[in-house]
Amino acid sequence: MAMILSFDKPKKIRSTEEHNKKYSSDSGIAGTYVPNMSKEDRLKWKAKHIKGDDERIEIRKEFGGANVLVVVYKNSFDPPYPDFTYFDSCRKEYDDQMEAWHKRHNEIKFSTNGKIDASFKDFTELFQAITEAKMLLNLTNPQNYPGLKER
């Protein structure tokens, strides 16, 4: 079984300026993302490996109009909730700790802009995509998946 994650950058179907003029949301409403790529690219399991302190693989896929984002993190991040009884003398420290607390996450995060209408095949591929991301982040032993070829 070959890998389904595609790390190739999708080709744009129109210029950024033209796309932003046609599909704009200056209200900043979540879920207003409209992909600027071909249908073929929208149906791929697109992936991006982000390295650094919060290493992760972001996976994107469209399911019948709903855009899905799955983020597979190498490590969870669970800082304690700031416990301050006074704010004046330690406001900066409190703000820094609150900012960190709002970035907390488990190992996998899902986001979507609508209902996902998926087949069992789609669900199986989702599991495979997450497994591939775990392998690439060295979280899973590839020997457990002998039919899967790495990229």
Percent pLDDT > 90 in the chain is 29
Q: Are 56 and 74 in contact (CB under 8 A)?
A: yes
pLDDT, tens digit, for every residue of 72-100?
A: 998 887 777 777 666 555 677 777 777 77
Q: Are 117 and 66 in contact (CB under 8 A)?
A: yes
How is 38-95 classified by DSSP, letter by letter? -HHHHTSEEEEEE-STT-EEEEEEEETTEEEEEEEESS-B-PPPP--S--STTHHHHH
Ramachandran assignment for 52, one of left (phi > 0), alpha (psi -120 to 50 degrees), beta (any other)? left
- Of 37-41, 57-61, 139-143, least confident by mean pLDDT is 139-143
Calculate ∠ Cα 104-5-12, nearest 5°: 95
pLDDT, tens digit, for every residue of 115-143?
A: 888 899 999 999 999 999 999 998 876 66
Ramachandran assignment for 85, one of left (phi > 0), alpha (psi -120 to 50 degrees), beta (any other)? alpha
With tokens 């820094």, the residue in question is 96
Alpha-carbon distance 93 to 99, whole Å? 10
